[in-house]
Structures are given as structure tokens and as C-alpha cells.
Amino acid sequence: MSTTAIDHAHDHSGDHAHGHDDHPHGWRRWLYATNHKDIGTLYLFFSLAMFMSGGVLALLIRTELFQPGLQYFQPELFNQFTTMHGLMMVFGAIMPAFVGFANWMIPLQIGAADMAFARMNNFSFWLLPPAAILLVSSFFVPGGAPAAGWTIYAPLSTQMGMGMDMGIFALHLMGASSIMGSINIITTILNMRAPGMTLMKMPMFCWTWLITAYLLIAVMPVLAGAITMTLTDRHFGTSFFNAAGGGDPVMFQHIFWFFGHPEVYIMILPAFGIVSQIIPAFARKQLFGYASMVYATSSIAILSFIVWAHHMFATGMPVTSQLFFMYATMLIAVPTGVKVFNWIATMWRGSMTFETPMLFAVGFIFVFTMGGFTGLILAVTPVDIQLQDTYYVVAHFHYVLVAGSLFAMFAGYYYWSPKWTGFMYNEGRGKFHFWASLITFNITFFPMHFLGLAGMPRRYADYPAQFTDFNMLATIGAFGFGLSQVFFLFFVVIPSIKGGKKAGDKPWEGAEGLEWTIPSPAPFHTFEVPPIVK
């Protein structure tokens, strides 16, 4: 029997117990994928689809808010849009994208053949599409999609139709996927590094993901607990969050934010890792303060567990607690400041060039720092009580998540895509994408600071006339930002997958040996071939 015939028989035997040996083609290649690169690609395409869907919802929200008065959507539907936009972006776009980066790059950076658990890797991806289908189809069931905000606060979430149950089930699936992905990443990094690569020689991206994976394992079960209690309150007569039955709706907020605050660091730490790889490469210098970067990342992760109630200053907690959470929140700015300082020190007197990855990385530092400062302002309890649930908060977290997580992902895509596809992206288009994104992002979200300071509440489908101008500006910016991402998809991503200028061995010439991996203490080499231990 010829080898092709054997392969063919394998393909049709239904027995893929040896995913590594036979190489399925066509749809089987993706369905049965156990290769870290294929799974990374699946994650990235899934997150791109969710990013575009969530973006459409954002544009619907902004369309309604272009002028005062109800024009297009009833408030109920508007609230479904805001809730689903948040859930899709957080759980469908940002987190899976970073897992995609991890799958692609971690084995390459530490010199491992693949991820530790190839089949679990496959399973953790394939939990996501059913979750996405559940989320999206909740729009079409009686009562519509969840409309309690992405934080699904009780008692609202205990009152809604079956769309909420679908949302809860989708979150459970996505949480299970995250936990499996994290176990895989931790095991791979701790057990599969090339000989001679100690933890303190790992690229920063591996470090930030190692810490992120521990965070995910710690907090995902907490979210599962919160939504399971919501489910039993809804259907099984419990009263966890029902005051009439002896429960406490504020307890939901405590449990949710004990998950939710570390979650926002889960969405930014991998971004820090990507930026810490790109800046040294284009500054042609080693990363400044490698060890302090590792310790800063770890302290951010630890501190993220003791600040959760700063989301709850308006719930009437005791002044002692308010003080504690205020100071703890300010404390977390210290390690973050260390990171920003180190990035700037890395660029200081480097021979910098500004290709697209570097533009996005520098743009990231600038805009993320602004988001960090507004976060520091919101940490001050009396200020927060005024600004709670206004557009100031919306501006703050979009500066951190869009200009933070998303810009870092774009940077990572432009930096690593030549390695992934074998082709260079078009530099001119990349730069256009950067400037269009940066400018329209600021046009969209900067006015929201003023709206919030003037008292415009978030999640409202209508507003008084004095807020009109800033809302019009924000809506125009949002459509510009949306179009920039459509441009990115059709004029950058798709062409660079199809072909184009071949990427050389060292696509970032001049950044000698600093390309794909930057083992931050010397020696300079890529760890595709495990180094020889002397």
C-alpha cells in the first residue's frame, strides 16, 4: 500500500488518535488541528470575527447616540447592544486573540516542539465557536439578548428572558476554554524550555503569559460561581442575590469584580509582553531592566486581587474599606509606571526606526498611559462617586482596552505576521492603518471624558441636548475607527496571507538577531533550534 494510500485510508478511518503523524487536509486540518501554529491561527481568525461583530454592535450604539431623542432602537434593544458588545469584545475578541498569539509564539520562543497538550489545545479552541453561536443567537429568542451590562449585575440578570441563560452558558464554555488554555501554557513554559533557557532568560512575552495564565486559573472559577448562583436564583428558587429571600445583590458585585478586576489585567499583561518584544527590536537595544519588568508584571498580578471593590465605591461600603481600596488601587500604578519607564529607557538613545509594529508600540505607550492616568483619577473615592457610571469611565476603560490591548495586538500582528505567513505586509498600508486608528480612536473616546465630567450616564439610549456636540464627534470618530479596521482586514491581513513580497530570514534588517525572539539577557539568537549547552 503506497504512503499516499495509507494517508488516504487514515483520513477516512475516522481514527485520528495520532494527530501528529498523519496530516489531514482541507477542513480536517482545522477541525483536528493539534499543531500549535494551526490552533493559533484558528484563535486569531475567531477573535477577528468576534471583533468585527462586536464592532458592528458598537457602531449601532453610536448611531443611536448621534443625536438626542430615540431614533433607531428602543432602550431595551439598545441595552442588549451595549451588553453584547462588551461580552463579545472581552471574551470573544481580546482574550482569544492573546491566546492565539501565545499558541503561535510561545513554543517558538522557548524552543519547544509544540504546546504540552496538543489535543486539549484543540478542545479549548473548539469550545469557543459554540459559545459564540450561543451568544449571537440569544438576540433571536423571546426576550432578546442579555441586557444587564457586560457585568450582568443582579437583580437585573435574575429577571431576564432565556437570552440570559444562553449568555451564562456561553460564558461557562469560554471560561472552560480559558482554563484549559492556561494549563497548557503553564505546562509548556515550565517543562518544555530549550536546554539552557532559564526562566530569567525567557522572552518577556512568555513571562507575561505565564503570569496571565496563573491569573486566569485563579479567577475563571470565581466568574463561574457568580453566574451559576445567578442561574440557580433564576430557575431553582435560591436567593443568593435576592434580598427578599435573605440574599444580597451587592454580593454579586463583590464576586463578579473579584473575577473582573484581575480579568482586566489578563487582557493587558500579554499586551505588555508584546510591546516589550517590539521596542527593543526597533530601538536595536536590549530591553532596559529585564528583571524589574518581570517583578513589575508579577506585582501587578498579585495586587490585582486586592483592588476589586474600587468598582463599587457607590454601593455604600464603609469608609475604612473605601480608603483601603483607594490606596491599593493607587499602589498598582507603581509597577505599571516601572514598565512605562523601562520602555522609554529602552528607546532612549536607541537607533530607532518606525516601521508599523514600532508605531503601534509607541502609540500603545502614549494612549495606554493616558488610560492609566484616568484610572488613577477614578481611584480617588470622592471623585469616583461623582464619575461612577458616567462616560468618563467608558472613556477610561476604552483607552486601556482599545488603545491598550488592541493596539498591542496590531503591533504583534505586524511584527510577527511575516513569520506566520512568509510574506511581508504592505508597509504603507500598515502605516495608514496606524494613523487612521490612532486619530479616529482619540476623536471617538477623548470627548467622552468631557461628557462624563458633565454628568452623562453610560448605557442610556437618550440624553439631554447639551451633550449633542460631543456625542456627534464621538459617533463620527467611531465610524472612522470601524472603517480603519475594515481597511486592515481587506487591505493588510488578506493580501499578506495570499502572498506578496517574500519575507526574508530577518525581515527587520538592522535589528540583527533581535527579530522573532528577544532573549532579553544575551546571547542574541532565535530559539528555533535549541541552543547547545556548553
* Sign of the alpha-carbon dihedral angle for 44, 45, 46, 51: positive
Report whether 251 contacts 241 (CB < 8 A). yes
Measuring CA to CA, which residue among 241, 262, 265 is closest to residue 253?
241
Mapping DSSP onto H, E and C, the string for 91-130 reads: HHHHHHHHHHHHHHHHHHHHCCCCCCCHHHHHHHHHCHHH
Task: Provide the pLDDT for residue 525.
Answer: 40
Report whether 383 contacts 453 (CB < 8 A). no
The owner of cell 501554529 is: 37
Task: Provide the pLDDT for residue 22.
Answer: 61
Would you call the peptide bond into 249 cis, given omega within 30 degrees of 0 as the criterion?
no
Angle, alpha carbons 213-215-220 (nearest 5°): 95
Residue 390 in 3-state DSSP? strand
Catalytic residues: 85, 114, 150, 177-178, 261, 263, 265, 276, 310-311, 336, 339, 458
What cell does 374 get?
Answer: 484616568
Measured between alpha carbons, how far is 467 from 455 in angstroms, rounded to an integer? 9
Task: Provide the pLDDT for residue 289.
Answer: 93
Measured between alpha carbons, how far is 84 from 90 in angstroms, rounded to an integer? 10
Measuring CA to CA, which residue among 59, 255, 65, 45 is closest to residue 154?
255
The pLDDT profile of the chain, 534 residues, written as one tens digit per residue, is 443 443 443 444 344 444 444 678 889 999 999 999 999 999 999 999 999 999 999 999 999 999 999 999 999 999 999 999 999 999 999 999 999 999 999 999 999 999 999 999 999 999 999 999 999 999 999 999 999 999 999 999 999 899 999 999 999 999 999 999 999 999 999 999 999 999 999 999 999 999 999 999 999 999 999 999 999 999 999 999 999 999 999 999 999 999 999 999 999 999 999 999 999 999 998 999 999 999 999 999 999 999 999 999 999 999 999 999 999 999 999 999 999 999 999 999 998 999 999 999 999 999 999 999 999 999 999 999 999 999 999 999 999 999 999 999 999 999 999 989 999 999 999 999 999 999 999 999 999 999 999 999 999 999 999 999 999 999 999 999 999 999 999 999 999 998 888 888 888 865 544 444 444 443 334 444 444 444
* Sign of the alpha-carbon dihedral angle for 499, 504, 506, 508: negative
